[in-house]
Structure 1
Amino acid sequence: MADFSTSDLSRRSGDIIAEALRRPVTITQRHKPRLVLLSIEDYRQLVARGETRRVGTIDTISDERLAEFEAALDAYEAGDESP
C-alpha cells in the first residue's frame, strides 16, 4: 500500500488518485495513518465480504462448524497451527 501525507494530497491529488485506482493508498497526517483511498471496485469487494459474515451464538452454530471449531481449539492447545 502506498503512503502519502495530507500535504501530498493537496499538491499531488491526480497522482494519488491514479495510484488509488491501482491499489489502496494510505493518507497520513502527522506521520500517523488517517485515511485509506481505494477504488470503487475494491470498496465494493470489501463491503461484499463483510456482508457474508453473520453473528450467531454457540447455540445456533451447525454441528459441522462446531466440530471444526473444536478441532481448531484442540490444535491450538496442542501447539499446532493447523487443525
Structure 2
Amino acid sequence: MKEFSFSDLNRRSGDVLDAALAEPVSLVKRGKAKIVMLPVEQYERLRDAVRPTEQRAFTLQNAPEEDIAMLMAGLQEIIDEDDREGR
C-alpha cells in the first residue's frame, strides 16, 4: 500500500488521488496511518463482505427452530451439570 503524508495530499492531491484509484492508499500523520483511501469498488466489496446477508439476531418469537433447539440443548446441559455438582 502506498503511503502519503497529509502534506502530500495538500501539495500533490492529483498524484494521491490517482494512486488511490489504482489501489488503497494510506494517509500518514506523524508517522502513523490515519486514513485509508481506496477505489469505491473495493470499499463496496469490503462493506458487503461484513454486512450480514441474513438476519443474525432473533427474539424467541422469530428464531429459527434449529436455533431454539440448540439453545434448549445448551440450557439442559447447564442444568444437568449443576445437578451433578449438587448446585
TM-score bucket of the superposed structures, by smaller chain: 0.5 to 0.7
Aligned to 2:45: 45
CA distance in 1, matches of 2:2, 2:42: 15
Shift of 1:55: 4.9
One-letter amino acid of the structure 2 residue matched with residue 16 of structure 1: V
Structure 1 unaligned blocks of 5 or more: 64-83
CA distance in 1, matches of 2:22, 2:52: 25
CA distance in 2, matches of 1:28, 1:47: 23
Structure 2 unaligned blocks of 5 or more: 58-65, 71-87
Shift of 1:51: 1.0
CA distance in 2, matches of 1:20, 1:14: 10
CA RMSD of superposed structures (Å): 2.5
CA distance in 2, matches of 1:4, 1:55: 39
Shift of 1:52: 3.8
Moved over 6 A (4+): none
CA distance in 1, matches of 2:27, 2:45: 21
CA distance in 2, matches of 1:52, 1:17: 31
| Larger of the two Rg values belongs to structure | 2
What TM-score do the two structures reach when normalised by structure 1? 0.62
Aligned to 1:78: none
